[in-house]
Chains A and B, each alone.
Chain A
Amino acid sequence: MQNIEAIGIGQNHYLILSAIIFSIGIMGVLFRKNIIMMLMSLELMLNAINLTFIAFGYFNGNLNGQIMVFFVMTLAAAEAAIGLAIAVMIYRKFNEVNIRYFEQMKG
Chain B
Amino acid sequence: MSHQLLLSLLLLAPVLGFFINGFNFSSTKAIAVGTLGTLCSFISFICSLGLVLKLGGLPEDQRRLTVEFFNWLQVADLKIGFSFIVDQISAVMILIITGIGTLIHLFSVGYMSHDLRPAKYFAYLNLFLFNMLLLVLSDNLLLMFVGWEGVGLCSYLLIGFWFSDPAKASAGMKAFITNRIGDVGFLIGMFILFFQFGTLNFVEILSRLPAVAELGWTGPITLSCLALFIGATGKSAQIPLYVWLPDAMAGPTPVSALIHAATMVTAGVYMIVRLSGLFVLAPNVMMLIAVVGAATALFAALIGLTQWDIKKVLAYSTVSQLGYMFLAVGVGAFGGAMFHLMTHAFFKALMFLGSGSVIHAMHEEQDIRKMGGLAKKLPMTHATFLVGWLAIIGFPFLSGFFSKDEILWSVYASPNGHPLLWFIGVCGAGCTAFYMTRLMALTFWGKSRVPKEIHPHESPLVMTFPLIILAFFALTIGWVGVPHILASVLPGHIPNVFEHWLEPVVPKLSFIGKSSLLEWALMGISVSVAGLCAWLAFDFYIVHKERPKSFVLKMGKLYQFVSHKFYVDEFYKQRILDPLIEGSTALWAYVDVNFIDRLTYFIADFTVSAGAGLKSIQNGQTQQYALYILLGLVTTITWILVG
Q: How far is the CB of B623 from chain A (nearest CB, A)?
A: 6
List, in ascending order, chain B residues with CB within 8 A of A26's CB.
Answer: 630
Q: Mark A66-107, 1 if CB is under 8 A from B, else 0.
A: 000000000000000000000000000000000110110010
Residue of chain A at shortest CB distance from B621: A103
Q: Let me know if A29 is at the binding interface, CB within 8 A.
A: yes
A22 to chain B, nearest CB (A): 11
Contact, CB under 8 Å: A29 / B621: no
B627 vs chain A, min Cβ distance (A): 6
A contacts with B: majority SS = helix
Residue of B nearest to A106 (CB): B620
> With a CB–CB cut-off of 8 A, which chain A residues contact B619?
103
Interface secondary structure of B, over-half rule: helix
Q: Does A31 contact B (CB under 8 A)?
A: yes
Are B622 and A102 neighbours in the complex by a CB distance under 8 Å?
yes
B: contact size bracket: under 10
The answer on a CB contact under 8 Å between B626 and A30 is: yes
Q: Give the residues in chain B near A100, CB-CB below 8 Å.
A: 621
CA distance A99 to B619 in the complex (A): 14
B461 to chain A, nearest CB (A): 79
Residues of A close to B627: CB separation below 8 A? 30
Q: How many A-B residue pairs have CB under 8 A?
A: 20
Query: A74 to nearest B CB, angstroms?
Result: 23
Q: Separation in Å of the B620 CB from the closest CB of chain A? A: 4
The answer to whether B626 and A103 touch across the interface, beta carbons within 8 angstroms, is: no
**Cα distance, A100 to B620, chains bound together (Å):** 9
Residues of the B chain whose Cβ atoms lie less than 8 Å from the Cβ of A31: 623
Q: Nearest-CB distance from A103 to chain B (Å)?
A: 4
A106–B630 CA distance with the chains assembled, in angstroms: 22
Residues of A within 8 A of B623 (CB): 29-31, 99
Residues from 547 to 601 in B contacting A, C-beta threshold 8 Å: none
Question: How far, in angstroms, from A100 to B624 measured CA to CA in the complex?
Answer: 11
Could you tell me the distance in whole angstroms from the C-beta of A46 to the nearest C-beta in chain B?
15
Within the complex, what minimum Cβ distance (angstroms) separates A86 from chain B? 11
- Contact, CB under 8 Å: A99 / B620: no
**Chain A, 6-41, contact with B by CB distance < 8 Å: what is the 0/1 string?**
000000000000000000001001110000000000
Within 8 A of A (CB), among B595-631: 619-623, 626-627, 630
- Residues of the B chain whose Cβ atoms lie less than 8 Å from the Cβ of A99: 621-623
Q: Are B620 and A30 in contact (CB under 8 A)?
A: no
CA distance A26 to B627 in the complex (A): 9
User: A103 to B630, Cβ gap below 8 A?
Assistant: no
Kindly list chain B residues whose C-beta atoms are within 8 Å of the C-beta of A29.
Answer: 623, 626
- Tell me, in angstroms, the Cα distance from A99 to B622 when the chains sit together: 8
How many angstroms from the CA of A103 to the CA of B622 in the assembled complex? 8
Report the bound CA distance from A75 to B621 in whole Å: 25
- CA–CA, A30 to B625, complex, Å? 9
Taken together as a complex, chains A and B put the C-alpha atoms of A106 and B621 apart, in Å, by: 10
Given the complex of chains A and B, what is the CA–CA distance between A29 and B604 in angstroms? 40
Distance between Cα atoms of A106 and B618 in the complex (Å): 12
- Complex Cα distance, B622 from A29, in Å, reads 10
CB distance from B611 to the nearest CB of A (A): 18
Residues of A within 8 A of B626 (CB): 29-30
Distance between Cα atoms of A5 and B345 in the complex (Å): 122
CB–CB B630/A30 < 8 A: yes
CA distance A103 to B621 in the complex (A): 6
Residue of B nearest to A103 (CB): B620
Q: Would you list 16 pairs from A and B whose C-beta atoms are within 8 A, ordered by A residue?
A: A26-B630, A29-B623, A29-B626, A30-B623, A30-B630, A31-B623, A99-B621, A99-B622, A99-B623, A100-B621, A102-B620, A102-B622, A103-B620, A103-B621, A103-B622, A106-B620
Given contacts A30-B623, A103-B619, 7 further A-B contacts (CB under 8 A): A29-B626, A30-B626, A30-B627, A100-B621, A102-B620, A103-B620, A106-B620
Nearest 7 CB-CB pairs, A to B? A103-B620, A102-B622, A106-B620, A30-B623, A30-B627, A29-B626, A30-B626
